[in-house]
């Protein structure tokens, strides 16, 4: 009796140990390449860390940032990007998905391919194309608006249009994955639910609000959280199109991190920026999970 208990215990222990040992590589990668740099970033943010200095300065980097007009403007721009881009990406993606999900397989694939293309293309290539579209002298956008008698605009060079121009590029590169996911989710909604509602004479709006939207909630939560995080972290488009200009009108926190760390060599200040951004993203993600997660139907 005792020996069989010991055997079972040994088996359970070995199984337990084996499971965790198999998890160890993934955990090793995570600790080494995610957790450690993250914690190191927080640590560095309390130092005046430049190419030649590493002095503890406490909260001085944070204090400096909250008094820095450029950082505050960058944070404002970042929030503006999120506020505009996320709802547009979500609503446009749902609109496209709703339009194509009942079409033939061939058409669905075509549209999914078209909208997903920017997601699999290099951001640099896409941005170079947009730079030529927005070119103040030879851009196709000014060429088109010129047909309607409009004067050429420096789309990326004027404060009133620069941020919106950036957001437009961000939206075009962000809708691919949500469309694919929404089309898949819509396909998973049992047709009988919608047919039953139609028999009960529910309008299209009612069907969307009462059946489709609640059934899409798990997908919504994922897409909203991911799109929000991606919008907060927009960087390459800004670096390539505007370098944060004109007059810091398109500067974002991520661009500021890059500028401070890699152009000015102020790693401490850049880390503090990164920590603030991470905290903001964390808070917003928690809110999103709290308010959207409760409606998730599995």
Partner 1 sequence: MAAKSKWLALGLIMTLLLTLISACSSGNGEPKPTKEASSQPEPTSQPSEEPAKAEPVEITWWNFPSYQTLDGEVGKYEKEIIKAFNEKHPEIKVKLEMITFDGGPQKLNVAIATNSAPDVIYDAPGRIIDWGKKELLAPLDDMITSEVRGDISPALWKQSMVGDKTYMYPINTAPFMMAVNKTVFEKIGKLDLLPLDRPDRTWTFEEYKLALQAVKENAPDVIPSGFFAKSQAGDQGTRAYLANLGVSRFLNEDNSAVAINTDEAAAALDWIVQAQKDKLVVGGSSSLAAGDVNDLFLQGKLAFTINYSAVLKAQNVPNKKAEFEEVLLPFPTLDGSPPKLEPYLGGMAIFNNGNDAKIAAAKKLIDFIANDPEWGRKNLIQTGGLSARSSITGLYDDAEYEYAELARQFITDPPTIADGFAEIRTFWFPELQRALLGAVSGKEALDAFAAKANEAIGKAKAQS
Residue 76 to residues 29, 67, 147, 242, Cα–Cα distance (Å) = 35, 14, 35, 17
Residue 159 interacts with partner 1 (CB under 8 A)?
A: yes
Q: Are 270 and 163 in contact (CB under 8 A)?
A: no
Provide, rounded to whole angstroms, the least separation between the CB of residue 24 and partner 1: 7
Asked whether position 67 contacts partner 1 by CB under 8 A, the answer is no
Kindly tell me the number of DSSP H helices and DSSP E strands found in the chain: 16, 2
Q: Kindly write down the DSSP assignment for every residue of 76-107, as one continuous string.
A: HHHHHHHHHHHHHHHHHHHHHHHHHTTS-HHH
Q: Establish if 262 lies at the interface with partner 1 (CB under 8 A).
A: yes
Taking CB under 8 A as the criterion, the residue among 265, 278, 280, 285 binding partner 1 is: 265
**Shortest separation between residue 32's beta carbon and partner 1, angstroms:** 6
Buried b (16+ CB within 10 A) or exposed e, 40-51: ebeebbbbbbee
* Contact set for partner 1, span 228-247 (CB under 8 A): 242-243, 245-247
Should residue 157 be labelled a site residue for partner 1 when binding is judged by CB under 8 A? Answer: yes
Nearer of residues 216 and 273 to partner 1, judged by Cβ: 273
Work out the number of other CB atoms within 10 angstroms of the CB of residue 282: 11
Taking CB under 8 A as the criterion, which residues in 26-45 touch partner 1? 28-29, 32
Window contacting partner 1 (CB under 8 A); options: 128-136, 174-182, 211-219, 277-285:
128-136
- Residues 189 and 214: beta-carbon distance below 8 Å: no
Q: How far apart, in whole angstroms, are the C-alpha atoms of residue 94 and residue 241?
A: 28
**Residue listed under structure tokens 């730079």:** 131
Least separation in angstroms between CB 74 and partner 1: 13
Q: Return the number of the residue (11 or 66) whose C-beta is nearest partner 1.
A: 11
Tell me whether residue 162 or residue 170 sits nearer to partner 1 (CB atom).
162
Task: Decide if residue 287 touches partner 1 (CB under 8 A).
Answer: no
DSSP percent split of the chain into helix, strand, coil, nearest 5? 75, 0, 20
Q: Does 158 bind partner 1 (CB under 8 A)?
A: yes
Q: Does 18 bind partner 1 (CB under 8 A)?
A: yes
Per CB under 8 A, the segment of 86-94, 107-115, 157-165, 167-175 that binds partner 1 is 157-165
Coil, strand or helix at 45: coil
264 contacts partner 1 (rule: CB under 8 A): yes
| 76 class by beta-carbon count within 10 Å (0-12 exposed, 13-18 middle, 19+ buried) | middle
**Residue ranges that bind partner 1, judged by CB under 8 A:** 18, 21-22, 24-25, 28-29, 32, 49, 51-54, 134-138, 152-159, 162, 242-243, 245-248, 258-259, 261-265, 267
């Amino acid at each position: 009796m005792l020996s069989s208990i010991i055997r079972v215990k040994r088996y359970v222990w070995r199984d337990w140990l084996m499971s965790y040992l198999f998890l160890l590589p993934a955990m090793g990668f995570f600790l080494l390449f995610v957790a450690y740099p993250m914690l190191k970033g927080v640590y560095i943010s309390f130092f005046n860390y430049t190419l030649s200095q590493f002095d503890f300065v406490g909260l001085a980097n944070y204090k400096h940032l909250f008094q820095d007009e450029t950082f505050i403007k960058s944070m404002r721009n970042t929030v503006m990007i999120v506020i505009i881009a996320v709802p547009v990406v979500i609503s446009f993606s749902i609109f496209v998905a709703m339009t194509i999900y009942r079409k033939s397989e061939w058409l669905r694939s075509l549209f999914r391919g078209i909208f997903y293309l920017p997601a699999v293309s290099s951001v640099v290539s896409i941005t170079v194309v947009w730079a030529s579209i927005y070119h103040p002298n030879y851009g196709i956008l000014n060429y088109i608006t010129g047909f309607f008698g409009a004067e050429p605009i420096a789309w990326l060079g004027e404060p009133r249009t620069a941020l919106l121009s950036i957001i437009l590029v961000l939206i075009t590169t962000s809708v691919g994955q949500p469309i694919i996911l929404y089309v898949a989710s819509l396909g998973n909604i049992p047709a009988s639910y919608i047919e039953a509602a139609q028999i009960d004479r529910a309008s299209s709006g009612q069907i969307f609000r009462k059946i489709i939207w609640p059934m899409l909630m798990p997908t919504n939560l994922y897409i909203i959280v991911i799109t929000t995080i991606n919008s907060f972290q927009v960087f390459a488009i800004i670096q390539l199109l505007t370098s944060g200009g004109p007059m810091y009108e398109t500067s974002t926190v991520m661009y500021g991190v890059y500028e401070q760390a890699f152009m000015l060599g102020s790693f401490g200040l850049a880390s503090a920026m990164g920590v603030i951004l991470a905290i903001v993203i964390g808070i917003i993600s928690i809110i999103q999970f709290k308010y959207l997660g409760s409606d998730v139907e599995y």
